[in-house]
Amino acid sequence: MSRSAPALRPYLPDDAPLLAAIFAASIMDLTGDDYSEAQQEAWAMAADDEAAFGKKLAGELTLIATLQGAPVGFASLKGADLIDMLYVHPSAVGQGVGSALCDALEKIASARGTKTLKVDASDTALEFFRKRGYVAQQRNSVTINDEWLANTTMQKQLDGVATPGGHA
Ligand code: ACO
């Protein structure tokens, strides 16, 4: 059966509650192999304050992916060179939604003159980004709602050449 490609559109303020739900479902359902339940809960809690979460989404360049008109994922570019968020609903993983969102952010950043795009990738998303040509630079520990979570700073040169760097 052929699958339709996701469509993309910009974030609108009314989207905040739905994106908060996608964010929480994505973390709670997809990251359990890499993070403890306490870590997942602390991470997902970051969207509990929908007003603050909506303000963050509006303050960045946030794109929403839809399948048959329904939002199934989102990604945001912070400033010129940081992919800040990338979350796909568990019901829509493995269908190219994350790729479509990243393709778009990479094109936008490149069109703005950005040469090197960075991401602090979750352990769950590490392989996704590696496949796209991002190279691990350093491991980090960040504290979210009193829990410590590991991630990896990765970067990609937007001219298609992988940047030299360490390994995760
Ligand atoms: N592990 C290994 N490979 C993966 C994973 C994974 N977790 N996820 C995707 N891939 C691979 C796919 O197999 C596919 O490979 P292929 O091209 O060889 O077939 C390729 O990556 C592209 O996959 P998509 O279908 O485009 O990705 P998807 O829509 O499933 O989204 C994502 C991937 C965003 C990582 C999703 O699994 C997710 O939301 N995870 C949980 C939340 C999360 O950790 N987000 C990142 C936080 S860090 C940050 O936001 C910057």
For 120-163, write each residue's pLDDT tens digit: 999 999 999 999 999 999 999 999 999 999 999 999 999 754 44
pLDDT category, 4, cuts 50, 70, 90?
Answer: confident
Q: 105 in ligand 1 pocket by Cβ < 6 Å?
A: no
**21 falls within a domain:** yes
Q: What is the predicted ipTM?
A: 0.96
What's the pLDDT at 159? 79
**165 falls within a domain:** no
**14 falls within a domain:** yes
Tokens of 36: 């403890």
**18 falls within a domain:** yes
For 29-79, write each residue's pLDDT tens digit: 999 999 999 999 999 999 999 999 999 999 999 999 999 999 999 999 999
* H helix runs in 31-159, sequence order: 37-44, 50-59, 97-111, 126-131
- For residue 49, the CA-to-ligand 1 centroid distance in Å is 26
87-113: average pLDDT: 97
The count of domains in the chain is 1
**105 falls within a domain:** yes
Tokens of 161: 């050449």
- Considering Cα of 91, then 92, then 94, then 99, what sign does the dihedral take? negative
Residue-number span of the structural domain to which 13 is assigned: 7-157
Question: Beta-carbon neighbour count of residue 21 at 10 Å?
Answer: 14
Q: How many Å separate Cα 113 from the centre of its chain?
A: 21
pLDDT at 166 > cutoff 60: no
* Closest ligand 1 atom, residue 123 Cα: 44
**151 falls within a domain:** yes
Tokens of 72: 């199934």
Identify any residues that bridge with 8 across adjacent strands, giving them in sequence order.
65
- For residue 102, the CA-to-ligand 1 centroid distance in Å is 10
Q: Walk across the sheet containing 61-67 and list its strands.
A: 7-10, 61-67, 70-78, 82-88, 116-122, 147-157, 135-144
CATH of the domain at 37: 3.40.630.30
